[in-house]
């Protein structure tokens, strides 16, 4: 809602991406503050990812033959996707599930299948900036 307005916020104030497809401040905040399952976070990213064909979600077996959901995100060199990756880099999702990053903007996450639908805090890791 804009300052001075009453009632509910306009739908466009809560758009995840702007008219050019770039993540809005609202969209970035939705990722930064995300609480839910990895599946729901990936659904949110799919709504914001430029060219969703640059994102794949598949079931795999990891090195220990455990079932994982592998999420592969390729930025395609597009700054909007890179903004989303930068937001993920400081998140619990990244801390818990990051598998690898590759030249060319490909980022891979592996979520144990048993955790795919489990809700939790997956947004930005809060640190105490006042040590003392």
| pLDDT on residue 130 | 52
Is the confidence at residue 62, as pLDDT, over 90? no
| pLDDT on residue 2 | 35
Q: What residue has token string 């220990």?
A: 64
Q: What is the mean pLDDT of residues 41-47?
A: 97
Q: Are 37 and 117 in contact (CB under 8 A)?
A: yes
| pLDDT on residue 98 | 98
Q: Nearest to residue 42, comparing CAs of 105, 103, 107?
A: 107
Residues in the chain: 132
| Rounded distance between C-alpha atoms, residue 41 and residue 123, angstroms | 9
| Rounded distance between C-alpha atoms, residue 101 and residue 120, angstroms | 24
How far is it between the farthest Cα atoms of the chain?
57
This prediction's pTM: 0.84
């Amino acid at each position: 809602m804009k300052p001075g307005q009453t009632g509910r916020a306009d739908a466009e104030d809560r758009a995840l991406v702007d008219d050019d497809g770039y993540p809005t401040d609202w969209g970035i905040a939705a990722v930064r503050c995300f609480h839910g399952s990895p599946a729901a976070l990936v659904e949110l990213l799919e709504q914001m990812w430029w060219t969703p064909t640059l994102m794949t979600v598949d079931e795999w077996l990891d090195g220990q033959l455990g079932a994982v959901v592998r999420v592969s995100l390729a930025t395609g060199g597009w700054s909007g996707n890179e903004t989303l990756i930068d937001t993920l880099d400081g998140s619990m999702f990244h801390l818990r599930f990051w598998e690898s990053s590759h030249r060319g903007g490909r980022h891979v996450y592996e979520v144990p299948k048993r955790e795919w639908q489990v809700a939790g805090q997956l947004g930005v890791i809060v640190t105490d900036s006042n040590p003392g």
